């Protein structure tokens, strides 16, 4: 299982890096796997579209639903290079994926990647009305964390996504 997780996370990392891996290009990648196959793989596309909701996980969930013709992604696992933000965590709950696996966690990166100061998005999963969804972090954590600004990076305010 862990080897499979690492295999799929490597795919998510490759997608994250597909347009370069400079942190300023927001290299976030996500793949959704069902029955041993990738049914969607997307990169963050907020700047390109432009669409503030076009996070990698949102785009992958949309693509997976479009391609399967299904509203629900039961039995699927969503792999994300970074702990999903609140929006993407809620979208994972709504899409009915069974598992969320992420690489770098909230404490491994700059706070710019999250919207809430004190609410950890993990709490959304633990507090969800669903009891058939799990979230696990730290898969290829080091490889994922190097894609992002570190916890103590000194960034100009106009580079900080959540200001």
- Name the site residues for Zn ion (rule: CB under 5 A): 55, 85, 87-88
- Which of residues 4 and 119 has its CB atom nearest to Zn ion in the complex? 119
User: What's the min distance (Å) between Cβ of 52 and Zn ion?
Assistant: 10
User: What's the min distance (Å) between Cβ of 152 and Zn ion?
Assistant: 22
User: What's the min distance (Å) between Cβ of 80 and Zn ion?
Assistant: 8
CB contact at 8 A, 103 and 138: yes
- What token pair was written down for 88? 């993407």
Decide if 11 is catalytic.
Answer: no
Cis ω before 50 (30° cut-off from 0): yes
57 contacts: CB under 8 Å, gap ≥ 6: 30, 42, 78, 80, 84, 88, 91, 92
- Which of residues 32 and 88 has its CB atom nearest to Zn ion in the complex? 88
- Which of residues 88 and 104 has its CB atom nearest to Zn ion in the complex? 88
102 contacts: CB under 8 Å, gap ≥ 6: 79, 80, 81, 82, 83, 84, 135, 136, 137, 138, 139, 144
Instruction: Find the catalytic residue in 42, 48, 57, 154.
Output: 57
User: What's the min distance (Å) between Cβ of 157 and Zn ion?
Assistant: 21
Which contiguous run of DSSP H or E holds residue 40?
A: strand 37-43
- Which of residues 39 and 91 has its CB atom nearest to Zn ion in the complex? 91
Residues annotated as part of the active site: 57
């Amino acid at each position: 299982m862990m080897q499979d997780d690492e295999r799929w996370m490597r795919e998510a990392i490759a997608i994250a890096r597909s347009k370069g891996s400079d942190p300023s290009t927001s290299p976030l990648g996500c793949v959704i796997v069902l029955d041993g196959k990738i049914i969607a793989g997307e990169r963050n596309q907020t700047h390109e579209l432009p669409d503030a909701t076009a996070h990698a996980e949102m785009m992958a969930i949309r693509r997976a639903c479009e391609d399967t013709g299904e509203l629900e992604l039961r039995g699927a696992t969503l792999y994300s290079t970074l702990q999903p933000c609140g929006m993407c965590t809620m979208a994972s709950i709504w899409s009915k994926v069974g598992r969320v696996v992420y690489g770098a966690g909230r404490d491994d990166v700059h706070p710019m990647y999250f919207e809430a100061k004190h609410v950890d998005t993990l709490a959304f999963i633990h507090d969800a009305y669903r009891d058939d969804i799990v979230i696990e972090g730290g898969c290829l954590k080091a490889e994922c964390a190097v894609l992002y600004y570190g916890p103590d990076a000194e960034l100009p305010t106009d580079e900080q996504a959540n200001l």
